[in-house]
């Protein structure tokens, strides 16, 4: 029986839920999912970027409760230190934490202009200047990491914390047909081909619930 429970919200819309879920799967944690219904007021506020706090995903494990994605990553790295969630090299580990922290607290224009929605496809979607700036920064981070650590993932041969943190951006680029350079496009393809991502996307597309505000093109 799983000793851990991961509380998440919509697989179609919740980028934070995807991050926490990937982190747990990447380290091989045995956990059961607890899904918050889409009509939950607090969950809906988070999905619509109307809440100042992010309370999902929430990991409960052996009496420990952790609800911040970065905290979940650090907890899992301590719990499964050989999983490769963070790089073993101190300098690379610091770099990883820096870019994960940047994703955690930044890119607000990208989040609002290109909300996560795995069921929809918006070719020709107009991307405004501020969101373009965020996209340029994300792709710069990817190129720097892929070049410095030789790929195929952001910090080398093992998928890890940074890949989980940036995976929802990959899905946004897919949904809104964002064009990126060849190196970043190959990275996006690699992330989308992960068995965990294939599983998550299939489940997201099977969700019956819809949030009208996130399904419209604007």
In a domain, residue 211? The reply is no
pLDDT > 90 fraction of the chain, expressed in percent and rounded: 79
Least confident of 9-13, 134-138, 181-185, 208-212: 208-212
Residue 98, Cβ neighbours under 10 Å: how many?
Answer: 11
Q: What's the average model confidence in pLDDT over 39-57?
A: 58
Q: What's the average model confidence in pLDDT over 64-80?
A: 95
Q: Residue 208's pLDDT is what?
A: 80
Q: Which of 31, 65, 83 is at the close of a domain?
A: 83
Q: What's the average model confidence in pLDDT over 23-51?
A: 75
Q: Which of 83, 102, 137 is at the close of a domain?
A: 83
Query: Whose structure tokens read 């060849």?
Result: 182
Q: What's the average model confidence in pLDDT over 56-77?
A: 93
Query: Whose structure tokens read 């405004």?
Result: 128
Q: Which residues touch 121 (CB under 8 Å, ≥6 apart)?
A: 175, 177
- Cα–Cα nearest to 14, from 59, 44, 58: 44
In a domain, residue 136? The reply is yes
Q: Residue 9's pLDDT is what?
A: 87
Tokens representing 132 are 């373009």
Mean pLDDT over the full length of the chain: 90
In a domain, residue 206? The reply is no
In a domain, residue 8? The reply is yes
Helices marked H in 106-181 — which ranges? 108-113, 129-149, 161-175
Higher pLDDT, 178 or 36: 178
Residue 32 burial (C-beta neighbours within 10 Å; 0-12, 13-18, 19+): exposed
Q: Residue 40's pLDDT is what?
A: 62
Q: How far apart are CA 56 and CA 16, in angstroms?
A: 7
The structure's pTM equals 0.90
Say yes or no to pLDDT of 1 above 80: no
Helix (H, G, I), strand (E, B) or coil at 187: helix
Q: Which residues touch 174 (CB under 8 Å, ≥6 apart)?
A: 188, 192
DSSP single-letter state for residue 108: H
Q: Residue 56's pLDDT is what?
A: 80
Q: How confident is the model at residue 2 (pLDDT cuts 50, 70, 90)?
A: low
In a domain, residue 168? The reply is yes
Q: How confident is the model at residue 217 (pLDDT cuts 50, 70, 90)?
A: very low
Range of the domain at 73: 4-83
Number of structural domains in the chain: 2
Q: What's the average model confidence in pLDDT over 36-53?
A: 56
Q: How far apart are CA 110 and CA 125, in angstroms?
A: 13
Q: Residue 12's pLDDT is what?
A: 93
In a domain, residue 214? The reply is no
95-145 pLDDT, tens digit per residue, is 999 999 999 999 999 999 999 999 999 999 999 999 999 999 999 999 999
Same domain, 135 and 42: no
- Cα–Cα nearest to 18, from 30, 6, 29: 6
CATH number reported for the structural domain that contains residue 146 in this entry: 1.20.1050.10
Q: Residue 42's pLDDT is what?
A: 58
Q: How far apart are CA 59 and CA 65, in angstroms?
A: 6
């Amino acid at each position: 029986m799983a000793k851990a429970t991961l509380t998440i919200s919509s697989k179609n819309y919740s980028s934070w839920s995807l991050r926490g879920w990937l982190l747990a799967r990447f380290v091989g944690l045995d956990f059961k999912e607890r899904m918050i219904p889409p009509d939950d007021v607090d969950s809906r506020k988070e999905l619509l970027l109307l809440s100042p706090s992010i309370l999902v995903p929430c990991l409960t494990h052996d009496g420990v409760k952790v609800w911040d994605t970065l905290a979940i990553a650090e907890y899992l790295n301590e719990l499964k230190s050989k999983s490769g969630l963070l790089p073993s090299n101190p300098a690379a580990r610091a770099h990883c934490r820096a870019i994960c922290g940047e994703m955690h607290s930044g890119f607000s224009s990208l989040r609002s202009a290109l909300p996560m929605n795995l069921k929809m496809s918006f070719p020709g979607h107009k991307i405004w200047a501020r969101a373009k700036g965020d996209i340029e920064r994300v792709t710069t981070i990817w190129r720097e990491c892929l070049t410095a650590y030789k790929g195929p993932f952001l910090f080398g041969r093992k998928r890890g914390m940074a890949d989980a943190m940036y995976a929802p951006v990959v899905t946004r680029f897919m949904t809104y047909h964002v064009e990126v350079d060849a190196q970043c496009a190959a990275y996006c393809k690699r992330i989308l081909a992960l068995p965990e991502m294939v599983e998550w996307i299939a489940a997201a597309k099977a969700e019956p619930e819809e949030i009208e505000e996130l399904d419209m093109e604007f």
